[in-house]
Amino acid sequence: MINVTLPDGSIKEFESGTTVLDVAKSISEGLARNVISAKYNGTTVETKTKLTTDGSLVLFTWRDDEGKKAFWHSTSHVMAQAIQDLYPGAKLTIGPAIDNGFYYDVDFGEHKVSENDFKKIEDKMLEIARGKHEFKMREVSKQEALDFYKKENNPFKVELIENLTDGDITFCDHDTFTDLCRGGHIPNTGIIKAVKLMNIAGAYWRGDEHNPQLTRVYGVSFPKQKELKEYLELLEEAKKRDHRKLGKELQLFTFSQKVGQGLPLWLPKGAALRERLENFLKKAQQKAGYEQVVSPHIGQKELYVTSGHYAKYGEDSFQPIKTPSEDEEFLLKPMNCPHHCEIFNSQSWSYRDLPKRFAEFGTVYRYEQSGELHGLTRVRGFTQDDAHIFCTPDQLDEEFKKVIDLVLYVFGSLGFENFTAQVSLRDPENKEKYIGEEENWVKAENAIINAAKEKGLNYVIETGEAAFYGPKLDFMVKDALGRSWQLGTIQVDYNLPERFDLTYKGSDNDLHRPVMIHRAPFGSMERFIAILLEHTGGNFPLWLMPEQAIVLSLSEKYENYTKKVLNLLENHEIRGLADNRSETMGKKIREAEMNKLPYMLIVGEQEEKDGTVSVRKHGGEDLGAMTVEQFAELINAEVNSSLKSFEV
């Protein structure tokens, strides 16, 4: 007999050899009908996998992220089979699940494939799916695997197998199709009811531009046709909210090939928006005891060798900058933290001086591959709302919880209400990826978990997602379209203080190492603004809008009154502009709506006579006539309802 521990902590006893599906049936028939994947002792297994040892079992349905991963990975196998059937000689490489669907990289050889072929491939996929073919895993020897793909004349799979260990190689079979695979499948193809191929792109084998170029086919699939329809509708809405489109329409930012890929240029309205966000956070940080610092955009290579960033990011960063002096090299900074360590190191500290909280809106540079660049969400130069707290071990818990309070204040002020906290820990099976002592990692991981519990956060633990120098707490925010984004991060670090020999004098007069907390509520200003744009559709909170009101005159003869209204708005610190063009009022209102102006103040003969404005809200609501003073009260009430003061 074996003992199986379920997620609620209960333990059930089963005969050795019981399958995952049998366990699901013992819980409920409904669960058994819906379970499509599982993990046993942290390893992905199939529903037909036989359990032979004691362990912990987690069952997944389509509603779970892991369930979707298995569903989409299985569909990638079906697509690969369809491609091989339709395009004889096509060579398959890899086909993983991704956040929204799956892809497969294929060498189509002499065949030319475009989006015009999608319908044919989709029809073939559904034909295969209707066969309800079971996915079956089997172990093969390295030689068997090599012989299979050499016979298939597939050098890509051969290369993959040559780098695998004999005894750890498995194939997945369904219908007449076989693929090299580690596992993680749904029970059978019949669960796949709806498929849609999304786009096609070029991709180098293993991401290396010196390797052959392949064709990457992206797709998505669902257990119901209705869900595919809803997903496609959501995509249409996402296109309308695309930050690249809105950023251009609202004149916030632009890119220039002459300046360089991935290097955004902020236009006046966008620069003002950034400045308001910075001032908002600086005001809260000042209350929380942070001190502003400024560090240069470059540093000597040795600085980043000491921090470990060069070993981690050196090959993927901009190349070193040579100077006229021999053997002198600088790097564009990929991180602000090494500079802040040296700021801390600039003088001696006592335990009475701690914590020290250094904050900087510091611009950093990383050489992202051109194919990975995407608007503001993936750029080569970006500004982090970075801060580093240097504290005693006894202060760590309190300081970490204070940072959580600040992150929650930022989210609340900007309308991000739906989020999950993710505790990112080391991969215990791959500790060589990380720097630092075991004891310090354990302390840091426990500190984060305890703070998340005490603050009552809805959190999940993700193993293997830690930074190379320490564990972290990431905030995964869902936007208005239900998409999940990582915004805001807090990290505990015992390692950089060691590497930079940071010390403070304790109450015992001995020197001690401070603990370092890295934190960035926005993360990257560029990425944060992109996500905020898409979340709000360009309708930012009123306190953040580039312009809060536009004065629309019925004709040019009311221009003087328009100027008077603008002056009154300015006196009340309301950002406004005017439209005195000799256009129809209908056209002016339509353009103001397109530009997301929150309020339209219409003025004509009656308004000038009464000293009022006729107020129309974005979206069409007519608020009637009122004085500018009354309008200012309305604006202030709306701003104050969303922008509270940060309470320490």
Let me know if 91 is a catalytic residue: no
Let me know if 172 is a catalytic residue: no
Let me know if 384 is a catalytic residue: yes
Among residues 105, 107, 385, 386, the one annotated as catalytic is 386
Q: How far is CA 119 from CA 28, 128, 315, 349, 542, in A?
A: 39, 14, 41, 68, 45
Among residues 84, 285, 384, 422, the one annotated as catalytic is 384
Give the 3-state secondary structure of residue 198.
strand
**Strand 2-5 to strand 55-60: parallel, antiparallel, or no bridges (unpaired)?**
parallel
The answer to whether 454 and 461 are in contact (CB under 8 A) is no
Among residues 124, 339, 472, 519, the one annotated as catalytic is 472
Let me know if 388 is a catalytic residue: yes
SS3 content of the chain, % helix, strand, coil (to 5): 40, 25, 35
Among residues 337, 339, 519, 535, the one annotated as catalytic is 337
Cα–chain center distance at 613:
43
Burial class (CB in 10 A: 0-12, 13-18, 19+), 648: exposed
Among residues 518, 519, 527, 616, the one annotated as catalytic is 518
Q: Cis link prior to 355 (omega < 30° from 0)?
A: yes
Q: Which residues is 461 bridged to in the sheet?
A: 423
Q: Which residues is 38 bridged to in the sheet?
A: 45, 59
Among residues 124, 157, 243, 366, the one annotated as catalytic is 366
The answer to whether 301 and 295 are in contact (CB under 8 A) is no
Q: Which residues is 179 bridged to in the sheet?
A: 172
Quick one: CA torsion of 482, 487, 488, 490, rounded to 10 degrees?
A: 90
Q: Which residue has the tokens 């890119």?
A: 255
- Tokens linked to 459: 């959190």
**Strand 136-139 to strand 170-174: parallel, antiparallel, or no bridges (unpaired)?**
antiparallel
The answer to whether 202 and 213 are in contact (CB under 8 A) is yes
Let me know if 366 is a catalytic residue: yes
Rounded Cα distance between 232 and 238, Å, is 10
Among residues 339, 388, 519, 588, the one annotated as catalytic is 388
Q: Which residues are known catalytic residues?
A: 337, 366, 384, 386, 388, 472, 518
